[in-house]
Amino acid sequence: MFIKRFFVSVVAVIMMLCFSNAIARDPIKRVIGCVAGGGSDRIVREAQYILQNAGIPSVIEFRPGAGGEVAVQHVANSKDTGVKLLLAATNNITVRNLRPHDVYQFNNLQPVVYLGYVPLLLATSRNSNIKTLDDFLKNQRDLTLGSSGVGSGTHLAGEMIFSYTKKTMTHIPYKGNSQIMPDLISGRIDSSIIFPTQAVGLVDKGDLNAVAVIGSRRVDSLPGIPTLDERNLSGAYRKLMYVFYASPGTSTQQIQEIAQIFSRAFRDPITAQRFRNNADMEIEPEKVLDTVHIMNEEFGIYRRLAERVPSIVTRE
């Protein structure tokens, strides 16, 4: 009996080493372009849970600044031999590559796996006279809109909804979503695009107005807030989708194995529920490996947005 148990243990260890050795000897570095505590932080921590269950060590690197570009440049220009996974919204990467610059190119990043999308909220200060979607659609004055940086997912979501509904706004960039909240609550800015988990407690206490869900499905934690689709405004937004991109030195085998780890995990409804509960993220298991098609669509959509709002492709 002892010999049998010993043999089984040895085989298990060998299989795990063979599997994980192809990915990385050192911990995978998961890089995000925001400060701790934001929406991206919640997503990357759920991803850590998946890697941990697969026996893959990983650590988080926070590199905030320039609407996420600091983190993107770091990964795209990395000369390290270890695996670095950049968590970024697809629209952020797309718009950066519609701008004339030579800091990095999209082909320096290798899309690995599509994690899912996050429904966002259009929110206003508690003192604002814009408390509902009807109020927003009737409004004729210029609004200030805070975002997590120029070219960030929340900035682009704001530009899409304001341009589509023919409203005017003045953009106020911040380093991250968590830094927006004090100014939004106090009324120093009129509005922002935020994650539901950031809003729910503040909405319940009356500190914020949740105007609309920028998406097709109502948010479980705020079931009374209408979606843009309910007002025939599906053209006013694009899903905020998140992809892991690998650093240039990551091998094809490493990318394939990491992608398969997530593909298997996302077939488990418990994992999908964890992402929904803890990170506001909706998993789409059938699209997990469809990163090329997703990115091609993104380039088409944001080229059209840039025609309406040229400032999004103006180099800062």
Rg of the chain in Å (alpha carbons): 21
Which of the four pLDDT bands, split at 50, 70 and 90, describes residue 249? confident
Which residues make up the CATH 3.40.190.10 domain(s) of the chain? 120-236
Position with higher pLDDT, 309 vs 243 = 243
Q: Which of 114, 111, 184, 110 is nearest to 154 (CA)?
A: 184
Question: Where does the pLDDT of residue 17 fall: very low under 50, low under 70, confident under 90, or very high at 90 and above?
Answer: very low
At 62 the pLDDT is: 86
Q: Please name every residue paired with 125 in a beta bridge, in sequence order, or none if there are none.
A: 208
Contact predicate 81/296, CB 8 Å: no
What pLDDT, on the 0 to 100 scale, is given for residue 214? 92
Name the segment(s) of the chain with CATH classification 3.40.190.150: 2-118+240-313
For the segment 189-195, the average pLDDT, to the nearest whole number, is 93
Prediction pTM value: 0.81
> pLDDT class for 288, splitting at 50, 70, 90?
very high
Max intra-chain CA distance, the chain: 79
pLDDT for residue 223: 92
Q: pLDDT confidence of 103, banded at 50, 70, 90?
A: low
Query: What is the per-residue pLDDT across 19-52, written as a single tens digit (0 to 9) for each?
Result: 444 454 578 888 888 777 777 888 989 999 999 9
pLDDT value at residue 18: 46
Q: What is the pLDDT of residue 79?
A: 85
pLDDT of amino acid 25? 53
Determine the pLDDT at residue 265: 95
Note the pLDDT of residue 242. Answer: 95
The residue written with tokens 């899309």 in the block is: 111
Using DSSP, state whether 274 is helix, strand or coil. helix
- pLDDT interval class at 106 (50, 70, 90): confident
Q: Predicted confidence band at 315 (pLDDT cuts at 50, 70, 90)?
A: low
pLDDT tens-place string over residues 130-159: 999 999 999 999 999 999 888 788 899 999
The number of residues making up the chain comes to: 316
117: pLDDT strictly greater than 70 = yes
Give the percent of the chain with pLDDT over 90: 55
> If we measure between CA atoms, which residue out of 258, 195, 253, 240 comes closest to residue 29?
258
Mean pLDDT of 48-76: 86
Structure confidence at residue 102 (pLDDT): 58
Architecture of domain 2-118+240-313: 3-Layer(aba) Sandwich (3.40)
The most confident of 11-20, 29-38, 176-185, 203-212, by mean pLDDT: 203-212
| pLDDT for 68 beyond 80 | no
Whether residue 8 has pLDDT greater than 70: no
Confidence band, pLDDT 50/70/90 cuts, at residue 65 = confident
Q: Which helix (H) or strand (E) holds 169?
A: strand 169-173
**Class of the domain covering 120-236:** alpha beta
**Residue 104 CB: number of other CB atoms within 10 A?**
19
